């Protein structure tokens, strides 16, 4: 043991606090083989249903991880300090987590949790770095929470909360230097975005590499103009459908460095919302202001998504839907997508045949919100002439529905 004034550095470690909450964390399923399965339809469908049911809402997307939690505790011994730091760290992580999903005004409705209640929600934690002395423990930790208890807590407290976006957004940082826009090359604004450690967020922000393929795909002028085909080409490379063009112009104000950032949003339907941020330094360098501006823009994107996609507090609602089964892998994929939607609390299988399945969806919020979160997962909801609702993968549903199906325009009762 080192002397009380000496801090020892320890290696990273991960501690699992409980057995996995779901079956198969990150489960990778082999491609189904329809020819073999159709011969024993009932058994094959049952197996597929069990596999799909074993993946809860957070199985594929870890939105319940909180990193960068700093602790520094002194006590009568290093062991006591470490135990107290763990309790302090998990509470800090819990506070960050609920603010990720809900607005400050809503969080006040939540009950005050004890340390034990918070600990029961923690799946595991990682000690990213730590320093020890005889009477002190300091470290940086990452906590992963079980998703279902967090969702139950928010819903039980009648707290409006936002579901994570299923689609990442591409960020193109354009820097204005000497009156000319610069996207690639010696771009300190791009470097600040690339260096950002995002962690888990409601909306994942993706920064392009800036390699030769990116340079060939689009330049600064085309990005600012919202050149649809070229933005779509770059988005296809990074798996995104929307793009934020973040334009930064450095200058000075009152003898201090300043940055004006204008953000334009482009999607498949053209230009969307835009906003502006202005940051004035107080002793920082321009590069430090770029880092602040990155965090300011990222926070605006997260808060904007949260405010537009809050799930209304209140009782669950139900909707019966029919799902056409074109192939077994379609059925499994639909079940997976439904399981990843936070506001869909349960999808109960009522009936399965070779050609279709019937589900009862229990969900939070109103019907318009349900339609929106389904579309986020590329799932389409449409109404048949008889009034029944059909659900399927977007772009494939209408071809198998009864003639005269209408687009989903559900109204609240």
Structure confidence by residue, pLDDT tens digits, 32-80 = 333 334 344 444 444 444 444 433 433 334 678 998 899 999 999 999 9
Instruction: Provide the CB-side half-sphere exposure for 263 (13 A, CA).
Output: 22
Two tokens at 222? 């085309």
Highest-confidence segment of 21-35, 153-167, 239-253, 316-330: 239-253
Distance between CA 281 and CA 95 in Å, rounded? 29
Contact criterion met (CB below 8 Å) for 63 and 144: no
Q: Residue 179: which region, alpha, beta or left (left: phi > 0; alpha: psi -120 to 50)?
A: left
Instruction: Provide the CB-side half-sphere exposure for 280 (13 A, CA).
Output: 5
pLDDT of 171 higher than 60: yes
Compute the average pLDDT of residues 249-276.
Answer: 88
Distance between CA 371 and CA 321 in Å, rounded? 13
> In terms of pLDDT, which residue wins out, 71 or 103?
71
Question: Given this model, what pLDDT does residue 229 score?
Answer: 93
Tell me the pLDDT tens digit for each residue of 353-392: 888 889 898 887 777 778 878 887 788 888 888 888 888 8
CA-closest candidate to residue 206, choices 216, 215, 194, 221? 194
Contact criterion met (CB below 8 Å) for 224 and 245: yes
Question: Would you tell me how many other CB atoms lie within 10 Å of the CB of residue 254?
Answer: 8
Tell me the pLDDT tens digit for each residue of 287-311: 999 999 999 999 899 888 887 777 7
pLDDT of 18 higher than 50: no
pLDDT of 259 higher than 90: yes
Question: Given this model, what pLDDT does residue 106 score?
Answer: 82
Question: Given this model, what pLDDT does residue 397 score?
Answer: 78
Domains of the chain: 8-20+60-159 (3.30.1660), 169-308 (3.40.50), 312-407 (3.30.70)
CA distances from 326 to 38, 128, 216, 248, 331 (A): 12, 47, 39, 49, 8
CA-closest candidate to residue 155, choices 112, 111, 114? 111
Strand partners, 145: 122
- φ, ψ of residue 146 to 5 degrees: the values are -65, 135
- φ, ψ of residue 341 to 5 degrees: the values are -95, 115
pLDDT of 236 higher than 80: yes
Per-residue HEC secondary structure of 267-323 comes to ECCEEEEEEEEEEECCCCCHHHHHHHHHHHHHHHHHHHHHHHCEECCCCCEEEEEEE
Contact criterion met (CB below 8 Å) for 259 and 293: yes
Question: Given this model, what pLDDT does residue 223 score?
Answer: 95
| pLDDT band at residue 404 using 50, 70 and 90 as cut-offs | low
Mean residue pLDDT of the chain comes to: 79
Question: Given this model, what pLDDT does residue 386 score?
Answer: 82
Contact criterion met (CB below 8 Å) for 391 and 356: no
Question: Would you tell me how many other CB atoms lie within 10 Å of the CB of residue 159?
Answer: 21
Distance between CA 85 and CA 73 in Å, rounded? 6
């Amino acid at each position: 043991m080192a002397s009380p004034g000496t801090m020892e550095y320890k290696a990273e470690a991960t501690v699992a606090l409980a057995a996995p909450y779901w079956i198969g964390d990150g489960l990778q399923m082999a491609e189904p083989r329809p020819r073999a399965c159709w011969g024993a339809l009932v058994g094959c469908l049952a197996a597929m249903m069990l596999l799909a049911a074993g993946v809860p809402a957070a199985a594929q997307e870890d939105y319940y991880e909180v990193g960068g939690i700093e602790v520094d505790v002194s006590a009568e011994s290093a062991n006591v300090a470490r135990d107290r730091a763990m309790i302090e760290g998990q509470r800090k992580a819990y506070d960050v987590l609920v603010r990720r999903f809900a607005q400050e005004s809503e969080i006040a409705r939540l009950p005050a949790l004890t340390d034990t209640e918070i600990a029961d929600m923690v799946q595991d934690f990682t000690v990213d770095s730590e320093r020890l002395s005889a009477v002190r423990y300091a470290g940086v930790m990452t906590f992963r929470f079980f998703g279902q208890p967090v969702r139950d807590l928010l819903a039980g407290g009648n707290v409006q909360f936002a579901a994570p976006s299923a689609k990442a957004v591409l960020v193109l940082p354009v820097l204005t230097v000497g009156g000319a826009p610069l996207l690639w090359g010696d771009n300190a604004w791009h470097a600040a975005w690339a260096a950002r450690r995002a962690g888990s967020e409601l909306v994942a922000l993706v920064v392009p590499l800036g390699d030769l393929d990116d340079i060939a795909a689009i330049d600064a002028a085309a990005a600012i103009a919202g050149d649809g085909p070229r933005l779509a080409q770059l988005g296809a490379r990074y798996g995104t459908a929307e793009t934020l063009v973040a334009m930064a112009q450095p200058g000075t104000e009152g003898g201090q460095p300043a940055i004006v950032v204008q953000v334009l949003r482009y999607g498949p339907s053209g230009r969307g919302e835009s906003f502006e941020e202005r940051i004035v330094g107080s002793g920082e360098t321009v590069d430090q202001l770029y880092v602040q501006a990155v965090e300011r823009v990222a926070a605006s994107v997260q808060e904007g998504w949260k405010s537009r996609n809050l799930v209304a507090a209140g009782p669950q609602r139900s909707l019966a839907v029919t799902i056409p089964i074109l192939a077994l892998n379609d059925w499994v994929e639909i079940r997976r997508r439904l399981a990843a939607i936070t506001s869909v609390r349960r999808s109960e299988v009522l009936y399965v045949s070779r050609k279709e399945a019937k589900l009862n969806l229990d969900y939070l919020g109103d019907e318009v919100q349900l339609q929106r979160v389904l579309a986020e997962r590329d799932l389409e909801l449409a109404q048949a002439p008889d009034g029944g609702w059909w659900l399927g993968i977007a772009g494939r549903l209408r071809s198998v529905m009864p003639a005269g199906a209408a687009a989903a325009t559900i109204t609240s009762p």
